[in-house]
Amino acid sequence: MRVFRWTIKGVSNICEKWAREIKTSGPWLSFVTENRWKTLERPISRWLFALGILFFGVASMYFSVTNSRWSGDVREYWASGTLLVNHVNPYDEASVFLLERQAGQKIDRAQVMFNPPCALFFALPLGMFSVRNAILLWTLMILACLMLSTWALWDLHGRRKGHLLLSIYLFAPVIACVELGQIVALAMLGVVLFLWLQRDRPLLAGLCFVLLAVKPHLLLPFGAVVLVWAIKGERYRFMAGAVLGLAAVSGTVLFFDQKIFSQYIPVLRSANGVSQVMPNLSSLLHWFYPQSGYIQYLPAACAGCWAIVWYLRREKDWDWNNEGLLVIAVSVVVAPYSWVEDEMLMIPAVLNGIYLCSDSGRSMKGFIVLNGAALALVLFSVRFYSPLYMWTKVAWLAWVLLVRAASRVPEALGEEARL
């Protein structure tokens, strides 16, 4: 009951803050009368509005089980897990197609997992349940990952008072992730746990780092910097944890299918064709060089070189919860394969920007407008491969860079005044 009241109060306070932001946004909202804002700012109205948001969350859980559009990716994971449990190739297109049709998917061709074999470790338990129960359990897992990530980020920021932290529950990529039941929630948890544990518990941080293996292509520059950081800093406990975690995950999958890695190679090749229709920066290169199969890796390679050089220059003062957040955000922008739900990996950087705005007294209107536009696309069921999502990744990164740059100006002026 205490957690429920805390959540209600937090969402209520966010609604109040956003209402005041919009109220002072200028004459373009002059049609809203003063009395209406007073009504919205009353405690009862805010609590009812917060309850409405929670009702939407419960409705999302319902639709994820009953509607074939919601949690469509879970049916894909369930089909692969079912095949793997029965020692059948989980990447076999014909077998996956039959199971997905059985699960209620109205499709003309199989939707095979493009995730590497390590991700099958997490899809494996789904094969032990019916599709309905698998969807429910997977949705609960996503929410648990989001809640644990939220708590860890709250602890990283010094357990600050206020409820700005709950803004991430209204972040458009988070809504998209819950709607599809995307496995990227596990990668998000792995990133946050690494940031939280890398300083005091390196062995456990290495074990949690394996969660990034479910979608390693999203964080290639970040992974390159982590590798240099671990080797150059002789962080053997972290590397031992990562190796042990990867061995445990791979060994479990190999127990059910010893040819799993060779079976994944054709799937990896076919993923290059799908990347041409993804709404990301790397897919634009295919328009200019359609015959180059792996041209989409070029931005990630360039960003990886930049990230390593930047780390080596700032190695002594490197802070994963400062410079590292920017590397994570850039990694998502230049990822060779990515969808809008994958942008939830930018939550640590976005949340840091929200706190910087709060500390400096700056307005969050820019983030509210950007997130509102992205939310409209998601809630109005715009297809996730639509070019309308092309701007979102760049928008989050640009907003974070602007906030970080603006926060440095007062610090520089303060240092000059002291001199």
pLDDT tens per residue across span 145-187: 998 999 999 999 888 876 778 788 889 999 899 888 899 999 9
pLDDT value of residue 266: 85
Model confidence at 34, in pLDDT bands (50, 70, 90)?
very low
Please indicate, yes or no, if residue 351 is contained in any of the structural domains: yes
Split into its structural domains, the chain has a count of: 1
Window from 10-19, 27-36, 131-140 with minimum mean pLDDT: 27-36
Of residues 418 and 71, which shows the higher confidence score?
A: 71
- Which range of 5-14, 86-95, 98-107, 221-230 scores highest in mean pLDDT? It is 221-230
Percentage of the chain beyond pLDDT 90 is 51
Q: Is the pLDDT at 369 greater than 70, yes or no?
A: yes
Mean pLDDT of 253-274: 85
Contact 296, 285 (CB under 8 A): yes
Distance between CA atoms of 273 and 181, rounded to whole angstroms?
23
pLDDT value of residue 183: 94
Mean pLDDT across the chain, nearest whole number? 82
For residue 124, with 0-12 CB atoms within 10 Å meaning exposed, 13-18 middle and 19 or more buried, which class applies?
A: buried
Distance between CA atoms of 404 and 17, rounded to whole angstroms?
22
pLDDT value of residue 10: 55
Of residues 139 and 83, which shows the higher confidence score?
A: 83
pLDDT value of residue 337: 87
Distance between CA atoms of 402 and 350, rounded to whole angstroms?
11
Q: Is the pLDDT at 242 greater than 60, yes or no?
A: yes
Distance between CA atoms of 259 and 283, rounded to whole angstroms?
31
pLDDT value of residue 58: 58
User: Tokens 């994971």 sit at which residue?
Assistant: 77
pTM here is 0.83
> How many beta carbons lie within 10 A of that of residue 28, not counting itself?
6
Task: Kindly report the three-state secondary structure assignment for every residue of the chain.
Answer: CHHHHHHHHHHHHHHHHHHHHHHCCCHHHCCCCHHHHHHHHCHHHHHHHHHHHHHHHHHHHHHHHHCCCCCHHHHHHHHHHHHHHCCCCCCCHHHHHHHHHHCCCCCCCCCCCCCCHHHHHHHHHHHHCCHHHHHHHHHHHHHHHHHHHHHHHHHHCCCCCCCHHHHHHHCHHHHHHHHHCCCHHHHHHHHHHHHHHCCCCHHHHHHHHHHHHHCHHHHHHHHHHHHHHHHHCCCHHHHHHHHHHHHHHHHHHHHHCCCHHHHHHHHHHHHHHHHHHCCCCCCHHHHHCCCCCCHHHHHHHHHHHHHHHHHHHCCCCCCCCCHHHHHHHHHHHCCCCCCHHHHHHHHHHHHHHHHHHHHHCCCCHHHHHHHHHHHHHHHCCCCCCCHHHCCHHHHHHHHHHHHHHHHHHHHHHHHHHHC
Model confidence at 14, in pLDDT bands (50, 70, 90)?
low
Please indicate, yes or no, if residue 44 is contained in any of the structural domains: no
Give the closest residue to 399 by CA, choosing from 377, 380, 379, 372.
Answer: 372
Mean pLDDT of 298-302: 92
pLDDT value of residue 159: 84
- Can you give the residue range of the structural domain that contains 88? 67-409
Please indicate, yes or no, if residue 338 is contained in any of the structural domains: yes
pLDDT value of residue 284: 80
Mean pLDDT of 105-132: 88
Q: Is the pLDDT at 135 greater than 80, yes or no?
A: yes
Q: Is the pLDDT at 247 greater than 90, yes or no?
A: yes
Please indicate, yes or no, if residue 101 is contained in any of the structural domains: yes
Mean pLDDT of 406-418: 54
Mean pLDDT of 317-338: 94
Percentage of the chain beyond pLDDT 70 is 78
Please indicate, yes or no, if residue 127 is contained in any of the structural domains: yes
Mean pLDDT of 18-47: 45
Phi, psi of 372 (to 5 degrees): -65, -40
